[in-house]
């Protein structure tokens, strides 16, 4: 299947389907030059609220390209922007910061992109002591399960959870932006290049049945923050959980 250039394709799609858009940005693997045979074009489209009362995410095939659309209005953009900052995983902000502005640069898009880049440069908020302790507790629980699995299937489930939670903990505890799934790997490589290979190797070994390298790596990553933590934790329910349901 022949594909046109992704930039031409994105501009044609924008002109056909979103002629009133304030701006749009192409992001993802095609922009980074890391696309594969199954890569899609990620496009953030920003519209006025009057033209787009309800933001949405959608997927389609256009000119032989799989395209993923993140169609935002002014309100939804602010909402997801703050959500990205709060969770420490700047999905939308990162797409805007790295994106190619289409159909052409304008003051609105340049200002938005500069703001996104400033947010990324500043890093996420520092985790509270309570957050760190809760995450240490969860990791300790997973490490215990890893060391004494009932069967191989449970080991794989534990390792899958541990892969995300351990990497996310170390990034956030060091005030670095995190990610999920494949974006976690990119976040680790960007923040701690020397750690990335060890992280991959330790998990590969664990999935093959040797959990010792991962156990040692996890303890090394937890050590600066107090190590494993299980006995003595009290995690209190939110206030609304202690009120009668209306």
pLDDT tens-place string over residues 181-222: 889 999 999 999 999 999 999 999 999 999 999 999 999 999
Task: Check whether residue 199 and residue 164 sit in a common domain.
Answer: yes
**DSSP labels for 218-232?**
HHHHHGGGTS---TT
Task: Give dist(CA 20, CA 49) in Å, integer.
Answer: 11
Task: Check whether residue 175 and residue 212 sit in a common domain.
Answer: yes
Task: Give dist(CA 152, CA 159) in Å, integer.
Answer: 10
Give the C-alpha distances (Å, rounded to integers) separating 93 from 117, 121, 135, 177. 8, 11, 25, 11
Average pLDDT, the chain: 94
Q: How many whole angstroms from its chain centre is CA 190?
A: 13
246 inside domain: no
Looking at residue 95, its pLDDT comes to 96
Position 2 pLDDT exceeds 50:
no
Looking at residue 14, its pLDDT comes to 97
**Residue 102 maps to which CATH number?**
3.30.460.10
Task: Give dist(CA 214, CA 204) in Å, integer.
Answer: 9
175 inside domain: yes
Mean pLDDT of 62-89: 96
3-state secondary structure 192-210: CHHHHHHHHHHHHHHHCCC
Task: Give dist(CA 45, CA 42) in Å, integer.
Answer: 10
Task: Check whether residue 64 and residue 160 sit in a common domain.
Answer: no
Task: Check whether residue 114 and residue 31 sit in a common domain.
Answer: yes
**Is 156 in contact with 203 (CB distance < 8 Å)?**
no
pLDDT band at 3 (very low <50, low <70, confident <90, very high): low
**Is 26 in contact with 41 (CB distance < 8 Å)?**
yes
Looking at residue 173, its pLDDT comes to 98
Helix, strand, or coil (residue 37): coil
End-to-end CA distance of the chain: 57
Q: What is the pTM of this model?
A: 0.89
244 inside domain: no
Task: Check whether residue 114 and residue 133 sit in a common domain.
Answer: no
Radius of gyration of the chain (CA): 21
- Give the strand pairing for 56-62 and 23-27: unpaired
Residue 66 belongs to what domain range?
A: 6-122
173 inside domain: yes
- Domain endpoint, select from 101, 122, 143: 122
* Residue 49: half-sphere exposure toward Cβ, Cα within 13 Å: 5
- Domain endpoint, select from 88, 122, 156: 122
Task: Check whether residue 173 and residue 203 sit in a common domain.
Answer: yes
Mean pLDDT of 86-113: 95
Task: Give dist(CA 230, CA 141) in Å, integer.
Answer: 7
Mean pLDDT of 55-74: 96
Task: Check whether residue 33 and residue 133 sit in a common domain.
Answer: no
Task: Check whether residue 116 and residue 134 sit in a common domain.
Answer: no
pLDDT band at 229 (very low <50, low <70, confident <90, very high): very high
185 inside domain: yes
pLDDT band at 39 (very low <50, low <70, confident <90, very high): confident
Position 4 pLDDT exceeds 90:
no
Position 151 pLDDT exceeds 70:
yes
Task: Check whether residue 97 and residue 149 sit in a common domain.
Answer: no
Task: Give dist(CA 135, CA 141) in Å, integer.
Answer: 10
Looking at residue 206, its pLDDT comes to 98
Position 1 pLDDT exceeds 50:
no
Task: Check whether residue 69 and residue 176 sit in a common domain.
Answer: no
Task: Check whether residue 212 and residue 139 sit in a common domain.
Answer: yes
Mean pLDDT of 91-98: 96
Give the C-alpha distances (Å, rounded to integers) separating 246 from 139, 239, 242. 36, 14, 12
Mean pLDDT of 130-144: 97
- Domain endpoint, select from 92, 122, 152: 122
146 inside domain: yes
231 inside domain: no
């Amino acid at each position: 299947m022949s594909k046109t250039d992704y930039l031409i394709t994105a501009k044609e799609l924008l002109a056909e389907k979103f002629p009133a858009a304030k701006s749009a940005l192409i992001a993802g693997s095609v922009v980074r030059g890391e696309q594969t045979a199954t890569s899609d074009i990620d496009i953030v489209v920003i519209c006025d609220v009057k033209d787009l009362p309800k933001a949405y995410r959608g997927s389609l095939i256009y000119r032989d390209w799989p395209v993923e659309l993140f169609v935002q209005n002014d309100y939804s953009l602010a909402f997801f922007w703050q959500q990205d900052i709060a969770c420490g995983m700047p999905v939308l902000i990162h797409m805007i910061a790295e994106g190619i502005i289409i159909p052409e640069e304008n003051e609105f898009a340049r200002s938005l992109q500069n703001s996104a880049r400033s947010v990324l440069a500043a890093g996420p908020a520092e985790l509270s002591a309570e957050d760190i302790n809760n995450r240490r507790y969860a990791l300790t629980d997973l490490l215990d399960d890893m060391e004494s699995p009932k069967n191989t299937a449970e080991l794989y489930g534990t390792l899958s959870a541990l892969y995300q939670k351990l990497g996310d903990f170390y990034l956030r505890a060091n005030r670095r932006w995190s990610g999920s799934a494949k974006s976690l790997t990119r976040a680790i490589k960007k923040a701690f290049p020397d750690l990335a290979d060890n992280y991959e190797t330790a998990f590969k070994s664990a999935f093959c049945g040797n959990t010792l390298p991962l156990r040692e790596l996890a303890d090394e990553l937890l050590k600066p923050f107090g190590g494993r933590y299980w006995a003595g934790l009290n995690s209190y329910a939110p206030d609304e959980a202690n009120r009668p349901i209306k």
